[in-house]
Amino acid sequence: MTRWLGLGLAVALAFALAVLLGPAHIPLAQLASSDIVRSLRLPRAVLALLVGGALGLAGASLQALVRNPLADPFLLGLSGGASLGAVLAIALHVTGPWALPLAAFVGALAAMALVYRLGLVGGAELDPRVLILAGVAVGAFASAVTTAIVSLSEAAQLRNTFLWLWGGLSGASWDTVLVVCVYFPLPVAVLLAAARPLDLLALGEEPARHLGADVEPLRRRVYLAASLLTAAAVAVSGVIGFVGLIVPHAMRLLWGHRHRSLLPASFLAGGALLALADTTARVAVAPRELPVGIVTALVGVPLFAVMLRRWTAS
C-alpha cells in the first residue's frame, strides 16, 4: 500500500514540476491564468504521463510475451517503421499539423503488420523467437531505407529528421491529448486484462497451457495491443528509448514479477519518468530544448547499469 502511495506521489510530483518549470518564469500566483501553462505546459505534462505510461506498460507486457527481459517496445521493429514513415513525410514535404504523426503511425503499423506476418510460424502460431528476429530484421531494413533518404536530403530537413528520431513532446496540444485519450483505453485495458495469463507465460508455453492459459490468442492480443500503444506513442512523440526497458525492471525490483501489480505500476512509473525527463529536456539548456530521448538515455543507461549489477550479483 505504501508503495502505491509513493508511486502516486512520484506521479504527482513529476506532474507538478512539469507544470511549474520551464524556460519562461511564471510566478506561482499567475500559474492558473497563464496562457503558457494552460495551452503548452499542461497538455504537454499530461501527454508525457500518458506516453511514458504507454511505453512502460507495453515494455512490461512485451518482456513477458517474448520471454526476454531485455525486450523493449521498440524491439519489434516499430521504431524503424515509424522513423521511415516520418522521414518519408519530411522528405516529401508533406505539411499540416498531423502529417508527421500520421506518417509515423502508418509506418509503425506497416512494420507491425510485417513483423506479425513473419512471426506467424506455418501461418498459424506466433513464435516469440521468430517475432524477435523478424522485428530486428524489419527494423534494420527500415532504418537502412531511412538513412538512405536522410543522406539524400538537404541540411535543414536533416536536422528536423534527426531531432524527430530522438523524440520530443514539443508538438503536444490539447488536441493530441484528446486523440490519445480516445485511443489508449482499449489497448491499455487489453494488456491489463492479460496480467494473470502473462504470469503463466513466464513458465513457458507448455506449462502455461496446462495451467489453463490460451497461449495463442493471448500472444496475439498482447502483441497487437502493445504494438498499437507503441505506434501511437511514437506517432505523437517520436522514438523515446529506455522508458519501456528500464521502468518494468525497476518495478520488478520493487513489486515483484506478478503482472497484476507490475503492469499498472509500470504505467504510472513510466509516466512519471517521462514527465521528469521532458521537464529536464525543456529547462536544461533553455531556451533551446533537448530531444527527450537523449535525456531518457542519459538517465536510463546508468540506471540500467546499476540494476544489471544488482541483478547479476544476486
Partner 1 sequence: MDRELILDVRGVAYRYRGTAHDALAGVSLAARAGDFLAVIGPNGSGKTTLVRVALGLVAPHAGTAQVLGRPPAAWSRRALARVAGVVPQREDNLFPQRVRDTVMLGRYPHLSLWGAERAEDRAAVERALERCDALRLADRWLWTLSAGEYQRVRVARALAQEPRLLVLDEPTAGLDLRHEMDLFELARGLADGRGLAVIMITHHVNLAARFADRVLLLADGRPVADGPPGDVLTRETVERVFAWPVAIEAFDGRPQMIPLRKGREP
* Beta strands per DSSP E along the chain: 120-121, 125-126
Figure out which of the listed residues 171, 197, 238, 264 binds partner 1, where binding follows CB under 8 A. Answer: 197
Query: What letter does residue 265 receive in the DSSP assignment?
Result: H
Q: CA 86, CA 108: separation in Å to the nearest integer?
A: 10
Cell of 104: 509515423
Q: CA 83, CA 164: separation in Å to the nearest integer?
A: 8
Does the footprint of partner 1 cover residue 3 (CB under 8 A)?
no
Of 222-230, 235-243, 251-259, 266-274: span binding partner 1 (CB under 8 A): 251-259
Does the footprint of partner 1 cover residue 120 (CB under 8 A)?
no
What DSSP line would sit under 155-167, residue for residue?
A: HHHHHHHHHHHT-
Of 93-101, 194-202, 222-230, 300-308: span binding partner 1 (CB under 8 A): 194-202
Does the footprint of partner 1 cover residue 209 (CB under 8 A)?
yes
Nearer to partner 1, 81 or 197 (CB): 197
Does the footprint of partner 1 cover residue 207 (CB under 8 A)?
yes
Instruction: Number of residues interacting with partner 1: please give it, by CB under 8 A.
Output: 24
Q: CA 294, CA 182: separation in Å to the nearest integer?
A: 29
Does the footprint of partner 1 cover residue 202 (CB under 8 A)?
yes
Nearer to partner 1, 69 or 97 (CB): 69
Least separation in angstroms between CB 66 and partner 1: 10
Least separation in angstroms between CB 77 and partner 1: 22
Cell of 101: 504523426
Return the ∠ at Cα 35 (arms to 29 and 41), rounded to 5°. Answer: 90
Among 222, 231, 227, 233, CA closest to 190: 222
Among 284, 283, 295, 300, CA closest to 19: 283
Does the footprint of partner 1 cover residue 117 (CB under 8 A)?
no
Does the footprint of partner 1 cover residue 70 (CB under 8 A)?
no
Q: CA 105, CA 183: separation in Å to the nearest integer?
A: 12
Does the footprint of partner 1 cover residue 23 (CB under 8 A)?
no
Nearer to partner 1, 203 or 224 (CB): 203
Of 29-37, 105-113, 161-169, 255-263: span binding partner 1 (CB under 8 A): 255-263
Contacts of residue 132, defined as CB under 8 A and 6 or more positions apart, other chains included, come to 66, 68, 71, 75, 76
Figure out which of the listed residues 12, 13, 144, 211 binds partner 1, where binding follows CB under 8 A. Answer: 211
Element (H or E) spanning 146, and its range?
A: helix 128-152
Contacts of residue 133, defined as CB under 8 A and 6 or more positions apart, other chains included, come to none
Figure out which of the listed residues 200, 274, 277, 290 binds partner 1, where binding follows CB under 8 A. Answer: 200
Three-class SS of residue 176?
Answer: helix
Nearer to partner 1, 140 or 253 (CB): 253
Does the footprint of partner 1 cover residue 257 (CB under 8 A)?
yes
Binding site for partner 1 (CB under 8 A): 64, 67, 69, 122, 193, 196-197, 199-200, 202-204, 206-207, 209-214, 252, 256-258
